[in-house]
Amino acid sequence: MLREITIVAEKKNLKLIDVDVPVVGGHAGITILPLLSKTKPSVSFNDEKVEQLTVRIQIAGTEVVEAKAGAGSATLSMAYAAARFVESFLRALDGDGDVYECAFVQLDPTDLPFFASRIKLGTKGVEALIPSDLSGLSEYEEKALDALKPELKPASKRELHSCRSNRKFSELS
């Protein structure tokens, strides 16, 4: 995800390269939960601004589709995010021991089959899920996390079914 970094950097006059905002949950709407309380460098927003920024981050993809009058989506952002992830993965494969990204990963056994979370990448792929992102959340983030779960569970199942029914994907698994 890049929108949260861009939005926070703009609001706090920071360089994009210096900003890290963990995002958990899913890919659309209220299932996207930026953890503004965990932003690095540490920044502060009042409660009203946290809610406004969270909603803005959640609808940023829709804003792009609307700006393109339905003729496309945030393809450049998706391409950049993919390139960034690949670069991070290559750094990890090369032995860099300090590589973290957010990814939509399978969680077993939990009530949510998939969940976007921070992961640590290493020479053998995903080395660890970083559960600390979910500890010490603000009250607003706790409530938003509870609210996204009922939305994310059926969405995860639909996406998994879609992947499994895709012939090329099913040949890989």
Residue in 27, 20, 29, 51 with CA at minimum distance from that of residue 130: 20
DSSP per-residue codes, 139-162: HHHHHHHHHHHHHHHHHHHHHHHH
Catalytic residue among 2, 6, 14, 27: 27
Residue 111 CA to residue 92 CA, distance in Å, equals 30
Active site residue 161: no
Cα 55 versus chain centre, distance: 14
CB 119 within 8 A of CB 101: yes
Residues 6+ apart with CB under 8 A from 73: 61, 64, 65
Catalytic residues: 27
